[in-house]
Amino acid sequence: MVRIILARPRGFCAGVNMAIDTLETALDLFGPPVYVYHEIVHNKHVVERFRAKGAIFVDSLDDAPDGSNFVFSAHGVSPEVRRAASARGLNVIDATCPLVTKVHSEAIRFARQGHTILLIGHEGHDEIVGTMGEAPGQMRLVQSAAEVASLAVDGAGSLAFLSQTTLSVDDANQIVGRLRERFPEIVAPPSEDICYATQNRQEAVRQFAAEADVVLVLGSQNSSNSKRLAEIAQELGVPAYLVDHASEVDPAWLDGAECIAVTAGASAPEDVVQDCIALLCERFDATVEERSIRDEDMHFQLPVELRRLMNRRAAALAT
């Protein structure tokens, strides 16, 4: 009998829920099309479902007509993008995750204090591109602990560091440790940058992978936090696979497995997880045990632009 450990917390975090609710509400209030800067969240299923509802995902502001309804994704954007959107007269709804906004605010504060900022993260990720735009002349990207020894920075006594919110906690701690060794006076952010949901999902994988023969992670290949979940299990010596859907699971991966751990990245929909569980149960007559390391009750409000519009419409209907 195959046993499935279904990890919790898994799937949507508060920031992803807010971003998805934002785009749903914008489509409802304004009607299609609603333009979105990059993907609203990094998940193939979410993007395709919104595309079918009339959302148009663009990689350049030039691809949206002047004055159109336009959503900034959960990953945030640079000040340059905000200025360009304003100049085009776009009706911007900002769905940036508040935890990403926090990192942007820290970058602004550190830059004003004259620090050179070492930003820990992955080159090209939407969140990193947006954060670096807050102080491009004062920021250096650090992608690994090995890079720390060769960092060429001026003013070593005036350094600060920040982190991408979706990193592996272990990798980030290793890099921070190397930075502190080389630059003992480096200034840290006032609180942890890696988001609570990322940490919780990583902790669950560490705990449950210890019992599993195989780990399946539901999520898209361009999802940083989903990739980290699979990598953590692999680092523990457990075969782990990142898939968008149950249909991508190769039966050979599961040969001889007596225990399969299943989880999902912070942007993966729950119905995709349940499809995977259903397939495994059908194939192996498996038993499912949902296991939790802690509850999550974080909630973020819709962007103020939408709340104001919703309040005005409610008031008009009440008169």
Q: Which of 148, 182, 216 is the last residue of a domain?
A: 182
Residue from 162, 156, 148, 158 nearest 191 by CA: 162
CATH of the domain at 130: 3.40.1010.20
Residue 72 maps to a domain: yes
In a domain, 22, yes or no: yes
| 174 within a domain of the structure (yes/no) | yes
* Dihedral in degrees, nearest 10, Cα atoms 75, 78, 82, 84: -120
At 30, which CATH number?
Answer: 3.40.50.11270
Secondary structure of residue 116 in the 3-state scheme: strand
Whether residues 111 and 85 share a domain: the answer is no
Q: What is the pTM of this model?
A: 0.94
Any domain includes 318? no
Same domain, 124 and 158: yes
pLDDT at 205: 97
Do 232 and 278 fall into the same domain? yes
C-alpha distances in Å from residue 34, one per residue of 30, 71, 82, 300? 8, 7, 17, 21
Q: How far apart are CA 165 and CA 155, in angstroms?
A: 26
Q: Give residue-wise pLDDT tens across range 234-243.
A: 999 999 999 9
Q: State which residues form the domain around 57.
A: 14-97+300-308
Structure letter (DSSP) for residue 252 = G
**201 and 283 in a common domain:** yes
Same domain, 254 and 203: yes
Residues 23 and 49 in one domain: yes
| Residue 156, pLDDT score | 54
> What is the strand order of the sheet 69-72 is part of?
55-58, 34-37, 69-72, 91-94
Closest alpha carbon to 294 in 217, 197, 214, 168: 197
Distance between CA atoms of residues 102 and 134, nearest Å:
12
Mean pLDDT over the full length of the chain: 95
| 26 and 103 belong to one structural domain | no
**Token digits of residue 244:** 């968008």
The span from the CA of 180 to the CA of 270, in Å, is 40
Give whole-number Cα distances, 182 to 24, 153, 245, 303, in Å.
47, 12, 44, 41
Look up residue 146 and give its two tokens: 């090995």
Segments of the chain with pLDDT less than 70:
154-157
Residues 144 and 203 occupy one common structural domain:
no
In tens, the pLDDT along 160-186 reads 999 999 999 999 999 999 999 999 999
* SS3 label, residue 313: helix
Number of structural domains found in the chain: 3
- The answer to whether residue 319 is domain-embedded is no
- In this structure, the answer to whether residues 89 and 110 fall within a common structural domain is no
Examine the domain organization and report whether 128 and 86 are in the same domain: no
Same domain, 155 and 243: no
Active site residues: 127
Looking at the domain assignment, is residue 190 inside a domain?
Answer: no
Q: Is residue 313 part of a domain?
A: no
**Residues 88, 119 share a domain:** no
Q: What is the pLDDT of residue 153?
A: 80
Residue 179 tokens, joined: 């930075």
Residue 189 placed within a domain: no
Type of residue numbered 314: A
Select from 182, 215, 239 the last residue of a domain. Answer: 182
In sequence order, the β-bridge partners of residue 119 are 141, 162
Residue 137 burial class via C-beta count within 10 angstroms: exposed 0-12, middle 13-18, buried 19 and up? exposed
Residue 154 has a pLDDT of: 66
